[in-house]
Structure 1
Amino acid sequence: MRLRFAAAAYAAIVLCAGPARADDPKAFRLTIDGVTVDIDPGEDVDVKLPSGKTSKVRLDHNDFATFSDGTFSFVHPSSNSVTKSDLGDGIAQYLMASALGTLVVVQTYDKMNPVSLNQLMLQEMTKETVQAGGQLTQQPTTRKLADGKQLTGLKATVKTRTDRADFEIVGFGAADRGLLFITRVGDQDNVTEQPLIDKFWETLKIKL
């Protein structure tokens, strides 16, 4: 049962990691005094108000945004979106993936405590690389959040002849529910991508 959960969850990570696509020509719709305009971040638009006055409006991204689903929240760069998938069996997944392959994944479980799935999840995420000759090393880890909550799990590194990827998989739970947190970053992207991972851990809040 647990292996099925881990395999299904990892498959969902892989399937969801592609770039997001939007069908709308503009990312946002802005309404001022009943006048609606479509606008993209960084774009200047002239809006004619009901009074007859024309005003120039501009929409800009903040550098950071807060994502929350009610059981957890974290701060992330506003340029990175968070997508949600329903994996069934009371499992929901929230994925933030960068263009370079850095991953932040949060899985919420409504019917079981997922803390014991750490090892199985790591195996599913690294088995293809290991089967191709990659070397996997791992060690137990704990992570203390800013509010004092402590997460337990493992850190791991997968090395091939040409590259390396670092994983952290930790969980927090009660008797029949909980959360699983997964991060992945490649060593070649560490300088630019590690701040994204650090911001996640620094600002993560659990509301169970």
Structure 2
Amino acid sequence: MRMVSAAALTLIALCAGSAGAEDLKAFRLTIDGKSLDIDAGESTHVTLPDGKEVEVKLDRNDFATFSGDSFSFNHPSGISVTKTDLGENITQYLMASALGTIVVVQEYGKMNPVSLNQLMLQEMTRESVQAGAALTQQPTTRKLADGKELSGIRAEVKTRTDTAYFEIVGYGLADQGLLFITRVGSEDLGTEQPLIDKFWESLKVKM
């Protein structure tokens, strides 16, 4: 069960003068082989090869689609998704907000991980429970837009001052599958629950 333990624990641009090192831009826009550093929301004037001057502006979409080998989902474009190879044909994708809300997708290439729901919950809540938090849980299912059904558990970890809500569900075939894990705190539900809802509404499983 070494691979199970590892998975559980690892839970655009034309010339426009160079910017100083203290003023780095987040994006590089490339036009006809020439580049310009620019931030989202900024605009600048550039000269095209035919001599015409035009205004260029870079805006960020509210949401972007992230795709793994066997799944995809929409997420706020300002939050990145990181990919980690856990070994043993297990790949983890993590999206985390500044407030601590997380969405984790674990992609398994050699086994069906549906039975790991309980183990994942134990690993993610161990420290809180050992510190005295109360853990309650119940079986749950999620039906995706295409009809696929995910099964797993929904749990609450309650301390004296707050509550964290977890959902861990999976989908698998004989020798491959996916685990989906979400966590959000009670104090952040008003602003963070839409992130979780967007994930579930847009999630597609391609297996």
Alignment TM-score, normalising by the size of structure 1? 0.90
Alpha carbons 2:64, 2:76 under 8 Å: kept: yes
> C-alpha separation between the residues in 1 aligned to 2:7 and 2:98?
21
Runs of 4+ with deviation above 4 angstroms = none
Is 30-39 or 85-94 further displaced after alignment?
A: 30-39
In 2, are the aligned partners of 1:107 and 1:181 still within 8 Å (CA)?
Answer: yes
Displacement of 1:52 after TM fit?
2.5
Counterparts of 1:26-175 in structure 2, within 5 Å, are: 26-175=25-174
CA distance in 2, matches of 1:39, 1:78: 17
Contact 1:6/1:124, CA 8 A, preserved across alignment: no
Post-superposition offset of 1:40: 1.5
**What value does the CA root-mean-square deviation take over the aligned residues?**
1.4
Q: CA deviation at 1:7?
A: 3.8
Partners of 2:114 and 2:24 lie apart in 1 by 42
- C-alpha distance in 2 between matches for 1:115 and 1:182: 12
Shift of 1:29: 1.8
Name 1:191's counterpart in structure 2: 190
Paired position in structure 2 for 1:9: 7
Paired amino acid for 1:67: F
The alignment of Structure 1 onto Structure 2 pairs a total of residues equal to 196
Letter in 2 for 1:188: E
CA deviations over 1:119-141 (Å, ceiling 9, x no partner): 00000000000000000000011
TM-score by length of 2: 0.90
Aligned counterparts of 1:11 and 1:127: Cα–Cα separation in 2: 11
Letter in 2 for 1:83: T
- Structure 1 pair 165/6, CA: closer, same or farther in 2 (3 Å)? farther
Whole-angstrom distance in 1 between the partners of 2:41 and 2:183: 31
Provide the secondary structure at the position in 1 that maps to 2:198: helix
Give the deviation of 1:5 after TM superposition. Answer: 3.8
Amino acid at match of 1:9: A
Task: List runs of 5+ in structure 2 lacking aligned partners.
Answer: 12-22
Q: CA deviation at 1:47?
A: 1.8
Deviates more, 1:62-71 or 1:156-165: 62-71
CA distance in structure 2 between the partners assigned to 1:185 and 1:80 by the alignment: 15
What is the SS of the residue equivalent to 2:79? coil
What letter is aligned with 1:184? R
Query: Which amino acid is 1:128 matched to?
Result: E
Identity over aligned pairs, percent: 71
Query: 1:128 and 1:98, CA in 2 relative to 1: closer, same or farther beyond 3 A?
Result: same
Q: Could you tell me how far apart the structure 2 residues matched to 1:67 and 1:116 are?
A: 26
CA distance in 1, matches of 2:133, 2:39: 43
Equivalent residue letter for 1:169: I
| CA offsets 1:68-98 (integer angstroms, 9 cap, x no match) | 1231011111111111110000000111000
Residues 6 and 121 in structure 1, CA contact (< 8 A), matched pair in contact too: no
Q: Which amino acid aligns with 1:170?
A: V
The offset of 1:58, in angstroms, is 0.9
Quote the Cα distance in structure 2 between the aligned partners of 1:87 and 1:67: 19
Distance change (3 Å), C-alpha of 1:127 and 1:205: same
